Chains A and B, each alone.
Chain A
Amino acid sequence: MNRAPVIAGLGITEMGKVYGRSAPEFAADAVRLAVTDAGLEPHQVDGLLTNTGITGDVGLSLQRDLGLRHLRLLSEVQAYGSSAGAMVQYAAMAVSSGMADVVACVFADAPLKDKSTGGGAAYAGAGGALTGWQGMAAASGIYSANTMYALAASRHMQTYGTTSEQLGHIAVAQRAWAARNPLAQMRTPITLEDHQSSRWIAEPFHLLDCCLVSNGGVAVIVTSADRAADLAQPAVHIRGWGQAHPGYVMGKDSEFGLVSGAALSGPTALKMAGITIADIDVAELYDCYTYTALISLEDYGFCAKGEGGPFVASGVLGPEGSLAVNTGGGQLSSYYMWGMTPLSEAVIQARGQGGDRQARRNDMVLVSGNGGVLDHHSTLILSPHAR
């Protein structure tokens, strides 16, 4: 009996400016799509892990929405952008131990509201009376993730000399990948000049340094290698995993902005998989901002600490580059489903189903998740091959 964990199903709903559907509806649709993709029936699901986005309404009630009975595992998971990886990790452990056989892991969100019916993106930031510490930061002008990540990136720039143009290379390369991805929301190629001339959001970030906002849902099905053997899709083996939650001290000598959780979760996952970073063929990195992808490349060891800027500007990225990074366009250009963005593209690449954007080699695929303001991190090592 081979209970080694695999990903056997992937479900991606309609994505982007899709109105009239709630996050729980997207979540239910994503699970149904993933179950069908795997060649399973909904009643065969015996585990469900949910991760809600900022609308906050995807949770335990999804079981009833889906009519799932006699579950052996059910929980809400929340570690923000690292949650997708975390859910797969918990599902993998549940499958390996025999606690459950078929675990669906789902994220869905619907922050975009139809402007004709009032309201913009729910990510816009503060509203109503501000209170306490968070309120003081917001009242001071630090009211969104954009600003906190800008402060992190600014520190990296001062310390290592990283430049906005270097960050721009990431945006340009990922858009080139997105042009080949029919699932991507933004497929028109951009230039470095486009990046530099896009409006400021929070310096050092231009608009084209920042991720999209999307409505939609993504689910994956985790099961055992044995169970997956006669299912519909090629199994994607979960070979290693890790997490990191740095707990930055906000004071002298803090590593905030300089070192991310990838520095800890990466080695944990690689060691479990029995490989080194040099063995990675495809890297699907969490890229809420260009800077997030850059610091992840450094902390995983694709380049030395502080050399991320020259590294990404060297032409290594993009469809013509030597390192396949964010082959679907990432959160910058494809769709923003928290950690499900890199995970979904990793599953597609590991299956060899990337079409025009399929990486030349896919033996080892690394997936990163990053949550909070660099506070939470997850890594997965996926492969089309069993150990």
Chain B
Amino acid sequence: MPVGTVLRDAATAEFFDGTARGELLIRRCDECRGPAAPQARTCPHCGSPLLSWTPAAGTGQVVSWSVVHAKGAPPIVVAIVELDEEPWIQVQLTDALPEEVRGGMRVRVAFERPEGGEAIPVFRPAN
């Protein structure tokens, strides 16, 4: 099932500039160089508020997943993916049969580009 449409706001503008280019951006701390999730405002390692955007490799593993059943729509698989850089991202898993998803499964980012909205990162099995 395709993703829905989402519009940018001030906090997500640079992130969606990245997805438009086909890049998954995360934050990196200017002080300790530690990684942080895209929506982080404070470094989880040293507490610094000075965070910059940096491209992630776009690979990671499934931490947990759920098959969401909504009335009148085919089930979709959503997941928390731990990027190889350490931050988590909540995403839809595509091209994966629900019964094949496993914790620790290797996944790679792709981008869905729904009409009228920003490009959204989804993840699919890495091999």
Q: Which residues of A contact B (CB under 8 A)?
A: 126, 129-133, 135-142, 146-147, 150-152, 154-155, 158, 199-205, 249-252, 254, 256-257
Given contacts A132-B6, A136-B12, A250-B37, 5 further A-B contacts (CB under 8 A): A141-B92, A155-B64, A203-B69, A251-B35, A251-B36
Residues of A contacting B: mostly: mixed
User: Do B37 and A140 touch (CB < 8 A)?
Assistant: no
User: Do B64 and A202 touch (CB < 8 A)?
Assistant: no
User: Do A257 and B64 touch (CB < 8 A)?
Assistant: yes
Q: Which residues of B contact A126 (CB under 8 A)?
A: 4
User: Do B5 and A132 touch (CB < 8 A)?
Assistant: no
In the complex, which of the residues A130, A147, A249 has the most CB atoms of chain B within 10 Å of its own CB atom? A249
Within B14-45, the residues touching A (CB, 8 Å) are 35-39, 44
Query: In the complex where A141-B68, A199-B69, A251-B36 touch, is A131 in contact with B5 (Cβ < 8 A)?
Result: no
Within B84-110, the residues touching A (CB, 8 Å) are 86-88, 90-92, 98, 103
User: Do B4 and A130 touch (CB < 8 A)?
Assistant: yes
Residue of B nearest to A146 (CB): B68
Contact among B7, B44, B63 with A249 in the assembled complex (CB-CB below 8 Å): B44
Contact among B78, B87, B117 with A147 in the assembled complex (CB-CB below 8 Å): B78
User: Do B86 and A138 touch (CB < 8 A)?
Assistant: no
Instruction: Give min CB distance, B5 to chain A, whole Å.
Output: 6
User: Do A139 and B120 touch (CB < 8 A)?
Assistant: yes
Contact among A132, A139, A142, A158 with B9 in the assembled complex (CB-CB below 8 Å): A132
User: Do A150 and B4 touch (CB < 8 A)?
Assistant: no
Q: With A and B bound together, what is the CA distance between A256 and B87 in angstroms?
A: 13
User: Do B82 and A251 touch (CB < 8 A)?
Assistant: yes
User: Do B64 and A137 touch (CB < 8 A)?
Assistant: no
Q: With A and B bound together, what is the CA distance between A150 and B66 in angstroms?
A: 6
User: Do B87 and A135 touch (CB < 8 A)?
Assistant: no
Instruction: Give min CB distance, A153 to chain B, whole Å.
Output: 8
User: Do B6 and A202 touch (CB < 8 A)?
Assistant: no
Q: List 29 A-B contacts (CB under 8 A).
A: A126-B4, A129-B7, A130-B5, A130-B7, A131-B6, A131-B8, A132-B6, A135-B7, A136-B120, A139-B3, A139-B6, A139-B117, A140-B4, A140-B92, A141-B68, A142-B90, A147-B78, A151-B64, A151-B80, A202-B66, A203-B66, A203-B67, A204-B66, A249-B44, A250-B88, A251-B35, A251-B36, A252-B82, A256-B80
Residue of A nearest to B1 (CB): A141
